[in-house]
Structure 1
Amino acid sequence: MSLTPEPLLERLKAAPTEVRLSRLCLRWPEPDTAALRTQAINAALPFLNPWVWWTEQPLNEARVLERTLEARDAFEQGRFQIWHLWSLETGAFLGGIDLHSWDLDVPRCQLGYWALPDSAGQGLLTEACRWAVDWAFAQGVARIEAFCDSRNHASHRMAQRLGMQREGILHAYTRDMHGELEDEVVFAITRAGQRT
């Protein structure tokens, strides 16, 4: 499938705001869950830091709500698809996935993912990421990338579980939350090489 940027953008604007998988419900950012998410993320700061850039300092509910509304606006414009992960069994908030940094001419995007420690080792984040990759390819995306801190080996393993290939290292590519230069490892999968 080959799409020009305009039709693809319309498809991205129509991204589902809620998806039910076997063990998860993926939902776009909801203002009424801001307090719960703030509390859960703050409780997990030692686990998330240093890999999740926006966890350098404890979050406050007002800022989480502000970011929630910004994310919903970007979602509706087709620029940033983000889904929060909720357990179907317990209703607990577990983390998030997103598709961002779109280049509609290729078309390509980047996949982002993170999870709270209570969900580790259960394959829940993998399940959510696989859905996102499959959904993006179904929209006509040709390439999906994951940029991972070179020190974050758990993130590397996730990309590999999704069938992504390690393409190389971008040395001194960005700064981490402490201002130190970091290397980024690039993983990618193309529609032609996706899982069968």
Structure 2
Amino acid sequence: MIHPILQEAPSSIETGRLLLRQPMPGDGPLLFEAVEESWPELTRWLEWAKKKPTEMDMEEQARHNQVRCLNRTDLIFQMIRRDQGQLLGTCGLYSVDWSVPRFEIGYWCRTSATGQGYVSEAVHRLMELAFVELGAQRVQIRCDADNIRSSKVAERSGFILEGILRNEMRSSEGQLVHTAIYGMIPKEYEEWKATSSFVRDHKKVKL
């Protein structure tokens, strides 16, 4: 296996409505705006949302995330509306194990853009990136078992619920939570793609 830093991966990809591009310096204010708007939801579901960040914190995170992309430890993308240039959130392929290869899809979306199919659209493109372009043998999605919206994204995208890890982690408020693990392998991806409304490249994904 070649060293992860030598793995080829795109710096930006597109869907019908979205530009997914890797983080860069200067993203802090845009990220801060999205986080500020969405803090009540983020702090409920995401472990990292324990302390409300400042604009400088978000700029620091953007730069750290850029380094993670360069090192190929994660492939992180800012989720941006192509028609308005508005940053909607962050998504990507995390917990990368290039020896398999294995990836974990993660995402969050600003509150005002939820329920409009943007997350599913991004997830479908990340699935294509993982399985078709990066040769994934496994892709998974983890979420709080009580996070119905996130679970629905995984289920609509063809992922199989493999189990519930009880008391697996603590929420941002310190409460023990159960974690749902959804998984997919190449054969299941091909079956899902053949029977779903998935449309690749620049055509709009029907959600």
TM-score, structure 2 length as denominator?
0.86
**Counterpart residue number, 1:101:** 95
Residue in 2 aligned with 1:84? Answer: 78
Per-residue CA deviation, residues 115-148 of structure 1 (Å, 9 max, x unaligned), is 1122112111111110001101121110001111
Q: How does 1:108-147 map to 2 (within 5 A)?
A: 108-138=102-132, 139-147=134-142
For 1:189, give the aligned amino acid. Answer: M
Q: Give the superposition deviation at 1:153.
A: 0.8
Q: Counterpart of 2:149 in 1: which secondary structure?
A: helix
Between 47-56 and 112-121, the greater mean CA deviation after superposition? 47-56
Unmatched segments (≥5 aa) in structure 2? 195-207
Q: Does 1:24 align with 2:2?
A: no
Q: Is the 8 A contact 1:96 1:115 kept in 2?
A: yes
SS in 1 for 2:90: strand
2:156 pairs with one of 161, 164, 184: 161
Letter in 2 for 1:119: A
Which residue of structure 1 lines up, in the alignment, with residue 204 of structure 2? none
Q: TM-score, normalised by structure 1?
A: 0.90
Name stretches of at least 5 consecutive residues in structure 1 with no aligned partner: none
Code of the residue aligned with 2:2 in structure 1: it is E
Three-state SS of the structure 2 residue aligned to 1:163 is coil
> How far off its partner does 1:58 sit?
2.0
In the alignment, the residues of structure 1 paired with residue 5 and residue 165 of structure 2 have an alpha-carbon distance, to the nearest angstrom, of 29
CA distance in 2, matches of 1:76, 1:134: 20
**For 2:140 and 2:163, how far apart are their aligned partners in 1?**
12
**Aligned-pair Cα RMSD in Å:** 1.6
